[in-house]
């Protein structure tokens, strides 16, 4: 059997991919990050399952080499903010390989600690040992949302203006590796995602704007590496958004993962939320209603 190693973080995404890999004939060796991964679900799917601390990369590398595994994927959300707590070193207690690799990031601060910086450092570390990071969506391409309006409800012309503006802001955030999500209402950016994650960003927007007209825009970084940190939404995102008074979710088509699509769209329809996947080019003018109707204020010069 083909072997692959998975490092699993929080959420349904790792569970879905583990099932797909097993169905495709892969022998999945999974390391579930403590405090993140769904240990029970993953242990029932994967051929081999090990809980592991967030900072135990040396253990993963040794295991892969010992068992002749070359390919690996890392997926799911990691609560990065935990690494910035004063006690994080003692709580996570990195092994020697992890400490040696990331000391210049977290201790001597010779390098920044942006998401892409840290993940690329991880990629280079594994490559030193002949191990290759693969792209998870290559195994489950159906999870990438294709262009279109996915729900019964459609955005209004005013909401299309918010989507265009939100995409501009989200792409700017992505350029600086800050976050992927922006919550907009009536042309105003209510909340920008930082290290706290999408759900907390939505909650903050709901507290700041109680008029129940929020538009959530989620986009990939301009130079998104599809091997990691790909924008993802699932049922929990929808539930949080509904509680905050959300009306529209716009995601970037072909570059955003949609988990549990049927449940998500049924929930959206039941709560009157419009969900659409839009294409985005170099500027906001490329954000167009997938049905071909241009948003208000935009001139069709095609």
Q: So what's the pLDDT on residue 144?
A: 97
For position 210, what pLDDT does the model report? 87
Please name each of the domains of the chain with its CATH number: 2-138 (3.40.50.20), 144-286 (3.40.140.80)
Query: Smallest Cα–Cα separation from 75: which of 3, 15, 145?
Result: 15
pLDDT per position as a tens digit, 117-176: 999 999 999 999 999 999 999 999 999 999 999 999 999 999 999 999 999 999 999 999
Say how far apart CA 183 and CA 193 lie, in whole Å: 8
Q: What value does the mean pLDDT take over residues 30-40?
A: 95
Tell me the pLDDT tens digit for each residue of 190-231: 999 998 999 999 999 999 998 889 999 999 999 999 999 999
Question: What pLDDT sits at residue 281?
Answer: 66
Q: What is the pLDDT of residues 265-294, one digit of tens each?
A: 999 999 999 999 999 865 444 565 666 544
pLDDT tens digits, residue range 80-99?
Answer: 877 777 777 666 789 999 99
pLDDT of residue 287: 66
Integer Cα distance of 228 and 135 in angstroms: 7
Q: What is the pLDDT of residue 29?
A: 98
Judged against a pLDDT cut of 50, whether residue 185 lies above it is answered with yes
Query: Are 233 and 187 within 8 A, CB to CB?
Result: no
């Amino acid at each position: 059997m083909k072997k692959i190693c998975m490092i699993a973080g929080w959420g349904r995404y790792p569970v879905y991919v583990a099932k797909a890999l097993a169905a495709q004939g892969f022998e999945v060796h999974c390391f579930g990050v403590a405090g993140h991964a769904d240990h029970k679900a993953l242990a029932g799917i994967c051929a081999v399952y090990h809980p592991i601390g967030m900072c135990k990369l040396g253990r993963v590398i040794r295991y892969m080499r010992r068992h002749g595994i070359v390919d690996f994927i890392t997926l799911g959300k990691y609560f990065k903010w935990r690494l910035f707590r004063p006690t994080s070193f003692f709580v996570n207690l990195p092994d020697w390989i992890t400490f040696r690799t990331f000391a210049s990031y977290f201790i001597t601060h010779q390098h920044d600690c942006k998401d892409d910086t840290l993940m690329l450092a991880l990629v280079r570390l594994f490559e030193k040992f002949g191990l290759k990071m693969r792209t998870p969506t290559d195994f489950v391409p159906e999870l990438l949302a294709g262009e279109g309006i996915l729900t019964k409800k459609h955005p209004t012309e005013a909401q299309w203006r918010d989507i265009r503006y939100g995409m501009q802001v989200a792409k700017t955030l992505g350029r600086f590796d800050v976050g992927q999500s922006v919550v907009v209402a009536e042309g105003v950016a209510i909340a920008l995602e930082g290290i706290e994650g999408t759900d907390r960003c939505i909650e903050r927007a709901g507290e700041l704007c109680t008029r129940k007209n929020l538009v959530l825009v989620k986009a990939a970084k301009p130079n998104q590496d599809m091997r990691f940190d790909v924008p993802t939404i699932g049922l929990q995102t929808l539930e949080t958004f509904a509680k905050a008074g959300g009306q529209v979710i716009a995601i970037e088509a072909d570059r955003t993962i949609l988990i549990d699509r049927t449940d998500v769209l049924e929930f959206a329809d039941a709560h009157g939320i419009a969900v659409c996947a839009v294409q985005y080019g170099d500027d906001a003018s490329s954000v167009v209603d997938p049905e071909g109707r241009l948003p208000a204020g935009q001139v069709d010069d095609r």
